[in-house]
Amino acid sequence: MATARSGELRDLADGVAAALPALVEEVVLTGSVSRGVADDLSDVEMLVVAPDLPGRDECEAYSRAVGLEEVDLWSKPESADSHLVSGRLGGVAVELVWWSRARAEERVGAIAAGTIHDDRILTADALVHGLPLRTSGLLVRWQELLHPYPPGLATALIEDAAEIWGGYQPSAYLSVTRSGERLVLTERLVDTARRIVRIVFALNETWEPTLKRLGARTESLAVKPSRLAERIEAMLLEPDPRRAVRGFAELAGDAVALAPDGPYVRRARVWLAELASLVR
C-alpha cells in the first residue's frame, strides 16, 4: 500500500509532466515515489525523453517554465544526449533527467543484452519500477525488454563482484586496521557492501537497486545471507577495525557460499575464510 506522501508527490509530478513542452514524448516517474514508499525526506525523480534532446539552456528554460525554482543543471559539456536539471517546487526537491530517445534505446538495449555497467544496471531497476506520466508507449516496451533477466548476467555479475577477494595474501588486507587508517578502511567496507549487494541481487535474478532502503529492498529476496542489511549496518558502524574486517569477511563469505561455482567465487571462498580466521 502506497504511503500518503507518495500520493502527494505523485500529484506534484503529474503537474510537472503536464506542463512540459509537447516535444517531450515520455515522462517516467522513478525512485521512491514510483514504488509508493516516499516519506517527508523523499524527492521527485523523473526521466524526460525527447526524440532530439534540447540544448542545456533549453532544458533549463523548460524546467523553469514548469515552475521549478532554484534551478541548477549538470551535464558534461561534450554530452549531447543527457542533462540533469534539479530545482524545487512547493518546497520539494525535483530532479528531471533529460535523455534523447537514442540514449534511452541504447541504454535499454545494452541492459537487455546483459552488458555489465553500474549505471545501466541501476537504470534497469528505475525503469522496471517506473510509472508513465506521459507516454508514447516507450516505457511499456522497455519494461517488456527488461522483464526477463538476461541469461548469463547473474553469473557474470557475481564473478565480477568476487574478483577482488583473492590474488594476494589475506594478511596483507590487515594493513587497513592500523591506527589512523579509518578512511581507507571505510572505503574498503563500502566497496565490500556494494559487492555483497550485487551478488545477492544477481543470485535472485533481480535488477540491482541503489543502496537506499536496503532492508526493505532485500526483505522479499529468497536467496540471501541471514540478517543481510543489519550486518552491513553493523559492519560499517563497528568502531573496532579488526571486528569490522571480521564482519566483512564473514558476510562476504556467506554471500559467495550461496553463489554458483566459478573461478573467482571458488578463490574468494578460500580467501575470505582465511581472512576471517586471521581476525578472530
- In three state form, how does the secondary structure of the chain look? CCCHHHHHHHHHHHHHHHHCCCCCCEEEEEHHHHHCCCCCCCCEEEEEEECCCCCHHHHHHHHHHCCCEEEEEECCCCCCCEEEEEEEECCEEEEEEEEEHHHHHHHHHHHHCCCCCHHHHHHHHHHHCCEEEECCCHHHHHHHHHCCCCCCHHHHHHHHHHCCCCCCCHHHHHHHHCCCCHHHHHHHHHHHHHHHHHHHHHHCCCCCCCCCCHHHHHCCCCCCCCCHHHHHHHHHHCCCHHHHHHHHHHHHHHHHHCCCCCHHHHHHHHHHHHHHHHCC
Could you tell me which of 119, 24, 126, 109 has the C-alpha nearest to residue 65? Answer: 24
Would you say the pTM of this structure is higher than 0.85? yes
Strands 44-50 and 92-100: parallel
Amino acid at 50: A
**Residues 168/174/175/181 CA torsion (nearest 10 deg):** 130
> What is each CA distance from 26 to 75, 134, 136, 140, 240, in whole angstroms?
20, 5, 6, 11, 50
Q: Are 37 and 5 in contact (CB under 8 A)?
A: no
- The dihedral through the CA atoms of 153, 159, 164, 167 has a sign that is negative
Q: Which amino acid is at 87?
A: G
pLDDT at 256: 98
| Torsion from C-alpha of 137, 30, 160, 171, nearest 10 degrees | 180
pLDDT in tens, the chain (280 residues): 889 999 999 999 999 999 999 999 999 999 999 999 999 999 999 999 999 999 989 999 999 999 999 999 987 665 567 899 999 999 999 999 999 999 999 999 999 888 877 777 889 999 999 999 999 999 999 999 999 999 899 999 999 999 999 999 999 999 999 999 999 999 999 999 999 999 999 999 999 999 999 999 999 999 999 999 999 999 999 999 999 999 999 999 999 999 999 999 999 999 999 999 999 8
CA-CA distance, 180 to 206, in Å (whole number)? 39
Distance from C-alpha of 4 to C-alpha of 102, rounded to nearest angstrom: 36
Q: What is the pLDDT of residue 242?
A: 96
- For position 220, what pLDDT does the model report? 93
Question: Measured between alpha carbons, how far is 204 from 206 in angstroms, rounded to an integer?
Answer: 5
CATH architecture of structural domain 4-146: 2-Layer Sandwich (3.30)
Domain ranges in the chain are: 4-146, 153-278
Residue with cell 567465487: 265
Give residues with Cβ within 8 angstroms of 234, minimum separation 6.
247
